[in-house]
Amino acid sequence: MEDSDKSTLTRRGFLGGTGLAGTAVVLGGMAPAAVAQPAAAASASAQPPSAAQLARDTEVVEPPAVSGITRRPGSDLMVELLRDLGVEFVVANPSSSFEGLHESIINHPAQPNRNPELITALHEGSAVDMAHGYGKATGKPMVVMLHATVGLQNAAMAIYQAFVDKTPIVLLIGSDDGFIQAHIADDLAALVRPYTKWDAAPRTLPEALDAIQEAWIQAVTPPCAPTLVVVDSHLQKASAEGVALPSLRQPQFPLISTADAELIASRLLGASNPRLDVGRLRTPAGVERAVRLAELTGACVGTRANQGPMSFPQSHPLCGPGASTDYDFVLGLELPSPHFSISGPELGSLTGRDEAGVGFSIVRGRPAAPGAAERRSADAEASLALILEAVLAAGSDAARTSSIRQRSEAHGTRNREARLTTLRAQVQRRLRGWDASPVSTARLYAELWPFIADEDWCIGSQTNFSGGHHADLWAHDKPYSCLGSSGAAGIGYSLGASVGAALAARDHGRLVVDFQGDGDFNFMPGALWTAAHHRLPLLIVMHNNRAWHQELMFVQYLTGARGRGTDRAHIGTTLRDPFVNYRAIAEGYGVEGIGPVADPAELAAAYRRGIEVVKSGRPFLVDVLTQPR
């Protein structure tokens, strides 16, 4: 890394002098840690912002002086790099520290505001949630631009959730040492380092470009997680003349050995009743590989597609318990197995980044359960390519081909029977309280299914608080059918994540459903505006039980255990007096809505209208008064 003498050079002096003086070197091997910020920022005691400083962010003032407007600023190169990396969207709430990047995204002459397109968020946490939902729907990182200190802190909880949920996101933190002192810090990344995978604070434009690419690579490499680059405002605005884009590098995924691949192929082909147990892979390509492997080997398959993204399609004939549950070889793909499992490196491999010693339990993880199973710490999706090669290389004879075909047919018949038997039992269960008002949570889900069963759909929200009835009643056949939980059970996730999923869906004729808890909604309702502004195909179904019901039940539990009465358990746990008018809120943000719907007989008509609007490319909100759970 290029060295600088911070004791004698200010940042401006450094950048204006040696830092950008014709440097066209792509720096490799940059340390994955923040580089120290100017000493002046650290030594000065904290002072409240001056009037001039505040004016920059709060009033109509002249833009900051730029010494020499450049026709090809550094931020143009950063945007070109994002485009080359396949980044479709950059989401941000505008800031005084990344206007250079902002301007390049929307005005870069080659393709203004397309690939990437700037998405406007009304809160930094919401912005990260959008990237979280998009990342799970596609397996690709969305870029989030965040303002230094305050913006990053607003986003912190959402970053933590995405980290626990192992979702790739690239965070670009704007930093500007010339304005508000409270927005300057020596090591910005330290605010979130224990729950990000990688960070850097580059000091030159070539370093910045290299860091952005490395952040992208690290984000998509297991364990997938948010990564962070501090992008100094001056790097964004300085001339890029003489600086070239770095060569693109491919991520290197941890793989099983060739010998392991051959062993697995041999055992799958040699077993009389092999099985795949498929967890969450990284991308749709991984799902395709799993389907191919199942079909080549006649293995029946277990799936998690009704719980989260990137798993095996539920309606595939091989998906289910199979003709017999006496499996003689089970291959676990991102899941444990009694025989052989492949599971990517866990978050626990990143505990070294917890310099502050926070000690997040979820990151530390639990020791692997003892057992005789072979387990490889490798990326299952990438390793599947090797296994497929080995299966194909093993060839086949007529007897094996016939055996696999017969096994597959038997699985198909039995799996279909099993699905229908399970479904018959599940629909019977949901009859309970069918005509009740408020609407039962089962009916909340069941009434929507006829409108989307034959569409391309995605559930962008978590669904556990509203019963998750889709898991038993719907068929989850796409890698993005169900994006699953928030990661860390933090509140405020679902709307933003669903907006992100709708961004992934917008240009593909897909519609997204958000089963939206009312408590969760009220954290960051501004994401509605993003959905309206960007014309997103999003149906928001309010699970409006007028409470934080989990907590209400906890308090009621204690009233029972302490024997002191129940009539005050609603204090602090319910949303009454006044009720929240979600339809009015939606309309205020430019989203059409219906409700509150308390009569279950009116729900289908509300959904019909909602789906019509969503299919026309606009969001819609149906506020439904529901049973508590």
Partner 1 sequence: MQIMTHLLPPAGFPPARRSLAATLGLALLSVWLPAHPLLAQTAGASLYLEHGCYGCHGHQGKGTHVEQANNLFPKPPVLLAGRTPFLVSEDVFRAYLRLRAEQQPQQPSVMMPHYSAEVLDDAEVSVLYAHIMDFPVDEPALEETVLGWLLEHAQAR
User: Where do contacts with partner 1 occur on this chain (CB under 8 A)?
Assistant: 315, 419-420, 423-424, 427-438, 440-442, 446-447, 449-450, 453, 464, 467-469, 473, 475, 546, 549-550, 552-554, 556-557, 559-567, 569-570, 574, 576-577, 579, 598-599, 604, 625, 627-629
d(CA 218, CA 252): 9
Q: Which is nearer to partner 1, 48 or 565 (CB)?
A: 565
With respect to partner 1, which residue has the nearer C-beta, 410 or 598?
598
Which residues have a Cβ under 8 Å from the Cβ of 267 and sit 6 or more positions away? Answer: 274, 329, 331, 339, 340
CB of 485 to partner 1, least distance (A): 12
Nearer to partner 1, 246 or 313 (CB): 313
Cα angle 283, 284, 288; round to 5 = 125
DSSP 623: E
Q: Report in angstroms how near the CB of residue 437 gets to partner 1 at its nearest.
A: 4
Least distance (Å) between residue 562 CB and partner 1:
6
Evaluate whether 55 touches 40 at the Cβ level (below 8 Å).
Answer: no
Smallest distance from partner 1 to CB 301, Å? 18
Q: Which is nearer to partner 1, 263 or 488 (CB)?
A: 488
Give dist(CA 445, CA 467) in Å, integer. Answer: 9
Q: CB-wise, 74 or 438, nearer to partner 1? A: 438
Q: Of the two residues 149 and 466, which places its CB atom closer to partner 1 in the complex? A: 466
Hey, how many other C-beta atoms are within 10 angstroms of the C-beta on 6?
A: 16
Minimum gap (Å) between residue 602 Cβ and partner 1:
11
Nearest residue to 581 (alpha-carbon basis) of 626, 551, 625: 625
Alpha carbon dihedral 264, 266, 272, 276, in 10-degree steps, equals 20
Nearest CB to partner 1, comparing residues 315 and 616: 315
Instruction: Please tell me the distance from the alpha carbon of residue 289 to that of residue 264, in angstroms, as a whole number.
Output: 15
The least CB distance from residue 581 to partner 1, in Å, is: 14
In whole angstroms, the minimum distance from the beta carbon of 221 to partner 1 comes to 34
Nearer to partner 1, 175 or 481 (CB): 481
Helix H or strand E segment including 144 = strand 142-147
Residue 623 C-beta: closest distance to partner 1, Å: 14
Give the contacts of 509 (CB within 8 A, at least 6 positions apart).
456
Rg for the chain, CA atoms, rounded: 26
Which 3 state secondary structure label does DSSP give 37?
A: coil
Which of residues 245 and 488 has its CB atom nearest to partner 1 in the complex? 488
Q: Closest separation between CB of residue 434 and partner 1, Å? A: 6
Return d(Cα 369, Cα 353) in angstroms, integer: 25
Q: Which residues pair with 170 in a beta bridge?
A: 143, 227
Question: Are the C-beta atoms of residues 512 and 537 closer than 8 Å to each other?
Answer: yes
Q: How far apart are CA 433 and CA 298, in angstroms?
A: 42
Which residue has tokens 């008018």? 581
Give the bridge partners for 169, in sequence order: 142, 226
